[in-house]
Amino acid sequence: MSIPRRLAVVLVASVLAAAGVVTEGSLTAPPAGAATAAPKQLHVVSRSTSAVAVSWSAIARAPKYRIQLSRSASMKHPSYQRFAGTSAELTGLRSGTTYYVKVRAITAAGKNLTPYSTAVKVATRSKSSSYRYLSPAGLRATSDSPTSITLGWSSRGSGIRYRVQYSRSSSMAHPTYVRSTRPSVSIEKLRPGTTYWFKVRVITSGGTNRSEYSRAVKVSTRPAAASRPLRVGSYNIRCSNCFAGEPNELTWQGRRNAVASTIKGADLDVVGLQEAGQAWLKDAAGKSVDQSQFEDLLARLGGSWRLTNTKRNNCVKDTTPTKCVHADKGASKGTRIAYDASKLELLSAGSKRLSYDKAESSERFVAWAVLRQRSTGHKFFFADAHLEPAADPAGSRLFYDLRRRQAADVVATVKARNTARLPVIVVGDFNSHKWTVPGNGPYDVFGKAGLVDPLGNTYESTKTATGATVGRRVRTTLNSFNGFARVAPNHPSWVNGTYIDYIMTSRLPVAEWETVARLDSAGRFVGVIPSDHNLIRATVSLR
């Protein structure tokens, strides 16, 4: 029988020595000074109906290896293939057929560095076998946190499904199984500081095995770190093109460093931004520059600060809305989420346009993200929204009702995207407060959906804080909106000031709340007033 054509290598039996061309059989000894011992530990890794995978020990400084393959133990009528690494997948073989494999080290030019190893005998599987694939190669594991590990491996083709087996024992005793439609998977809810072994195989959609398991890889989860509370914030930074020349108000260029310093000074892990515009900024001469407000702020935050989405517009060409061809890029206008990547890992993110009245209002969005706390491995769902700001004239409920619909849109987005039922934190500028007539609509919608206001700043409350969950309060008697007033609006005799900015959570412990403002002893802002809103911050424990 002949060797399949794709494996055959034509050997030239006679060549001109002056040309320096050497055939496979003409080199009976390795070059002077080369390694003389053949590669060791040649063994079979995996078999399928049409392929075999083999591996061997490395030869020091050997740039390549040559595999010799034959259906004869005497290696008659062999075929040859070259490989750069210490493993090989030999494909295109006949099913149910015995082969013999040898390996030797060679130079990059193909000259022999070692003799051939001892032959290894291997048989492909019969046609009746379900093992149509070799086991997945290149399995690798990375410890992401004390409770999670990410696995990846080389794809066996499009539409392939996989089963991962893992155990705390090298013998794979008492294993757990996870399926994946991609050549990667994240394993969650593991034990901190624990060693696991992982294997992967190809399966059908119905779960039938299509390959052997790969060789196991060993990896340990990170030790449990000291639990670190999560510090979250909400900050309306006032859009760069909203300058109105109010007393104490500076342009974006005059206050942007103060905004960045306020965020960094609060030691936040994640912050929901509002009015962080996507339009181009202008330089001192009034000329447009190709940089948005949120891009400018991110550059000033520096370090490990990141945005969950950096697209300016939901257009095919997202850098400008001019001649926009719509495409969902996850952009959310000025509603953005910034996070410290040294403390949090971004797992997924997106946005959803909220209800709006085309005749009376503009597009608004909720931005959302699933994030993982690096110190604990805990995941949570974070959403940021900026609701309609317009006030209703006497006798009208147009904008009151619109804000309620927008809040309901936020709730629906959280429900649709938070399929894992993670702890939820919703922040934003809701443009509604405890004195809004006929009521604090968004507050009621979020409360009915199970979200909690840590301050308990209920409708028309002053001396009480019904349902408050916060432990320590810092300047909660301030209003969240300051309007660039030099003396910060404050209600010292109340429990809570008037808030249009919110941090609401599922039922989580909240150790501290701070309404961030740099004030002197007389309650006056010191230096540049960063925005017409105060940054609000809460310290939350995930569980």
Query: Domains plus CATH for the chain?
Result: 5-123 (2.60.40.10), 140-220 (2.60.40.10), 232-540 (3.60.10.10)
Segment 43-54 mean pLDDT: 97
CA torsion, ordered 47, 53, 56, 60, to nearest 10 deg:
-170
In this structure, of 25-34, 52-61, 248-257, 263-272, the range with the lowest mean pLDDT score is: 25-34
Q: What is the pTM of this model?
A: 0.71
Q: Mention every residue, 6+ apart, whose C-beta is less than 8 A from residue 137.
A: 53, 87, 89, 153, 154, 214
Question: Residue 4: pLDDT band by 50, 70, 90 thresholds?
Answer: very low
Cβ count within 10 A of residue 401: 15
Q: What are the pLDDT digits (tens) for 193-213?
A: 999 999 999 999 999 999 999
Q: Is the pLDDT of residue 251 over 60?
A: yes
Q: Is the pLDDT of residue 82 over 80?
A: yes
Q: Is the pLDDT of residue 467 over 60?
A: yes
Q: Is the pLDDT of residue 514 over 60?
A: yes
Question: Residue 227: pLDDT band by 50, 70, 90 thresholds?
Answer: low
Question: Residue 23: pLDDT band by 50, 70, 90 thresholds?
Answer: very low
Q: What are the pLDDT digits (tens) for 434-454?
A: 999 999 999 999 999 999 999
- In this structure, the strands spanning 230-236 and 270-274 are parallel
pLDDT-above-90 percentage for the chain: 86
Q: Mention every residue, 6+ apart, whose C-beta is less than 8 A from residue 332.
A: 309, 351, 365, 366, 367
Q: Quick one: pLDDT at residue 226?
A: 65
Segment 396-403 mean pLDDT: 95
CA torsion, ordered 112, 115, 121, 127, to nearest 10 deg:
0
Q: Is the pLDDT of residue 357 over 90?
A: no
Q: What are the pLDDT digits (tens) for 413-439?
A: 999 999 999 999 999 999 999 999 999
Closest Cα partner for 259 from 338, 328, 169? 338
CA torsion, ordered 398, 403, 405, 408, to nearest 10 deg:
-160
Q: Is the pLDDT of residue 305 over 60?
A: yes
Residue 514 main-chain phi, psi, to 5 deg: -135, 130
Of 2 and 350, the structure prediction assigns the larger pLDDT to 350
> Distance between CA 192 and CA 374 in Å, rounded?
12
Segment 461-475 mean pLDDT: 96
pLDDT-above-70 percentage for the chain: 93
Q: Is the pLDDT of residue 20 over 60?
A: no
Q: Is the pLDDT of residue 25 over 90?
A: no
Segment 205-228 mean pLDDT: 90
Q: What are the pLDDT digits (tens) for 99-112?
A: 999 999 999 999 99
Question: Residue 511: pLDDT band by 50, 70, 90 thresholds?
Answer: very high
**Radius of gyration of the CA atoms of the chain, in A:** 32
Cβ count within 10 A of residue 206: 6
Residue whose structure tokens are 């700043």: 457
Per-position b or e across 328-358, b if 16+ CB within 10 A of its CB: ebbbbbbbbbbbbeebbbbeebbbbbbbbee
Question: Residue 283: pLDDT band by 50, 70, 90 thresholds?
Answer: confident
Do residues 200 and 153 make contact, with C-beta atoms less than 8 angstroms apart? yes
Q: Quick one: pLDDT at residue 142?
A: 92
Question: Residue 144: pLDDT band by 50, 70, 90 thresholds?
Answer: confident
Q: Quick one: pLDDT at residue 376?
A: 86
